[in-house]
Amino acid sequence: MARILIVYESKYGQTEKISRFIADKMKARGHSVDLLEAHAKSTDLSHYRTIIVGGPVYANGYPRALSKWVRNHSGDLNIKPTAFFSVCLGVMQKDQTVQRSEARIVQGFFRKTNWLPKKWAIFAGALNYSRYGWFTKRIMHTIAKRSGADTDWNRDYEYTDWKEVSQFADDVLAIQNEEPMNMNLVF
């Protein structure tokens, strides 16, 4: 079975929760899976057959540590089977303009980091009002209102579709059996 690395950055915990869910599913299938926070000490990627990267969208971008990690490892990432998942509430909106905007954020991340994974997906995250400070709570409340999410900030809400995450994990396992790529990316 394959050795898989999942690299993530998670500010309020949902991206980490999704990463652990994917890891558990892959471990149940007999794979060896390591989790690494992007801001942690770097690791040797040569030991891994497949690499998955996950991050939350904040202010139309990804955490600096995640972008830096991907940029620093793009050479290795572009020659292995890789996948990316994005976590944001905007994906809950059914407005096509918003959907295209979310996809542009992901594509912009790939351009900035010079990386093109074989598979990527966007998952709805969570509203963890109990973890937010005063200012963030109000911003998230406004975003929730626009996306039709829950606005009672006296409790937390989870919107992640775990069936979608499970399907993503299956799709990633399928791509790891394909031949590695050797790409020179030009954006």
pLDDT digits (tens, 9 = 90+) for 38-63: 998 778 899 999 999 999 998 888 99
* Closest to 157 (Cα-Cα) out of 132, 124, 123, 128: 128
What is the average pLDDT score of the chain? 89
Domain tally, the chain: 2
If DSSP codes are grouped into helix, strand and coil, which group holds residue 74?
Answer: helix
Same-domain pairing of 78 and 143 = no
In a domain, 183, yes or no: no
Same-domain pairing of 81 and 138 = no
What domain range includes position 147?
130-157
What's the pLDDT at 149?
80
* Closest to 35 (Cα-Cα) out of 6, 64, 15, 10: 6
In a domain, 187, yes or no: no
Same-domain pairing of 16 and 108 = yes
In a domain, 30, yes or no: yes
In a domain, 117, yes or no: yes
If DSSP codes are grouped into helix, strand and coil, which group holds residue 93?
Answer: coil
- Distance from C-alpha of 39 to C-alpha of 45, rounded to nearest angstrom: 16
8 Å CB contact between 120 and 62: no
Give alpha helix (H) positions in 63-155: 64-77, 96-113, 134-147
Same-domain pairing of 71 and 107 = yes
pLDDT tens across 114-159, in order? 999 999 999 999 999 999 999 989 988 887 887 778 888 889 999 9
